[in-house]
Amino acid sequence: MDQSLNELSNVIRQSAGFLSAMKAEISRIIVGQDHMIDCAIIALLTGGHILLEGVPGLAKTLLCNTVANVVDCQFHRIQFTPDLLPADLIGSLAYRQDNGSFYAKKGPVFANLVLADEINRAPAKVQSALLEAMQEKQVTIGDTTYPLPRPFLVVATQNPIDQEGTYPLPEAQVDRFMLKVTVDYPSFEEEKKILQRMTSPQEISVNSITTASNIITAASNVEKIYIDERIQNYIVSIVYATRHPEQFGLPKVASCIARGASPRATISLANAAKAAAFMDLRAFVSPEDVQKLVVDVLQHRISLTYEAEADNLTSLDIIEAIMGKIEVP
């Protein structure tokens, strides 16, 4: 096992060599927000999708555009509005006048990186069309099914403070997102750096660091990352505790949880931890990899009771209580 891990470590160091340059190039454009950048790269490496929640002006859209330029892949931005139709997203059959036939006119979802801007402003049927494409990695137009390009990443954004004219994502649909990242305001120094950079007459250009094929190769190596059985038990215990906290000595937490996380959360947490290890050029997952991403994987998958909301408790409080009880391997 040690020999195979050493061999895998060598492969990972070679395969992940571009990641530091990639992150540095993104950071030339995005000031601060290191965690958001890391999560975007993790989602790209695992084939997951990411939901960014934060007030306007925190570089959520800029992040997507920058990542697409750095990876040199196709990028489409879709502004979700109440009058959007599923055909506006996935495409439709168009009539060809010259020979009287129909052909598939593909929609903006056919891209490597798709930004679903303000996803909660579109009605449920449009949200469902996007989430189906996210899950199946394919789209059916007419009688023909078309595979979506690889890699395929959806980054959705939503504004938590503006609720008028919105259609909140149902819990079952939010679960399709591997990660939900809460984007906060920059620090004083970071905001000063933003001011200096954005008011400078010198325009900062983005250089292409890698290609889509390199991302696909890296993703195949992420799958090979070793997870020890003790780490597997740690991951399963964390997720299982969201359903049965009383079994882990948390009877008060049990009354706060209406529904815990599904096995999809277990898989997402394991895959995200693998990608975090890959970014650190390691061939194995550590407990720190799990702890780093547990909030982003679980916060949108825990439904709280009315009692918890009345006590001003959040899913973050629940996760913190659970993490304090689960023994670290």
- Indicate if 98 and 186 belong to the same structural domain: yes
The CATH number that applies at residue 198 is 3.40.50.300
Q: What is the pLDDT of residues 220-260, one digit of tens each?
A: 999 999 999 999 999 999 999 999 888 888 888 888 888 88
Share of the chain above pLDDT 90, in %: 20
Q: What is the pLDDT of residues 156-178, one digit of tens each?
A: 888 776 555 566 676 767 888 89
Q: Which residue type occupies 212?
A: A
Q: Residue 144 forms beta bridges with which residues?
A: 141
Euclidean distance between CA atoms 272 and 106, whole angstroms: 31
Domain boundary among 181, 216, 251: 216
- Indicate if 26 and 79 belong to the same structural domain: yes
- Indicate if 240 and 202 belong to the same structural domain: no
Domain boundary among 196, 216, 236: 216
Burial state string for 200-222 with b = 16 or more CB within 10 A and e = fewer than 16: eeeeeebeebbebebbeebbebb
Element (H, E) at 258: strand 257-259
Domain boundary among 158, 185, 216: 216
Element (H, E) at 104: strand 101-106
**Full-model pTM:** 0.87
The CATH number that applies at residue 272 is 1.10.8.80
Burial state string for 239-271 with b = 16 or more CB within 10 A and e = fewer than 16: bbbbeebeebebeebbebbeebbeeebbbbbbb
Euclidean distance between CA atoms 101 and 312, whole angstroms: 59
- Indicate if 264 and 212 belong to the same structural domain: no
Q: 247 is in which domain, residue-wise?
A: 225-325
- Indicate if 259 and 312 belong to the same structural domain: yes
Q: CB of 44 within 8 A of CB of 67?
A: yes
The structure tokens listed for 113 are 């990186």
Q: Counting every residue, how long is the chain?
A: 329
pLDDT (0 to 100) of residue 163: 59
- Indicate if 8 and 105 belong to the same structural domain: yes
- Indicate if 89 and 174 belong to the same structural domain: yes
- Indicate if 167 and 236 belong to the same structural domain: no
- Indicate if 196 and 275 belong to the same structural domain: no
Euclidean distance between CA atoms 248 and 238, whole angstroms: 10
pLDDT (0 to 100) of residue 130: 84
DSSP, res 73: -
Looking at per-residue pLDDT, the higher value among 38 and 102 belongs to 38
DSSP, res 165: T
- Indicate if 98 and 240 belong to the same structural domain: no
How high does pLDDT run on average in the chain? 85
Number of domains in the chain: 2
- Indicate if 6 and 60 belong to the same structural domain: yes
- Indicate if 281 and 321 belong to the same structural domain: yes
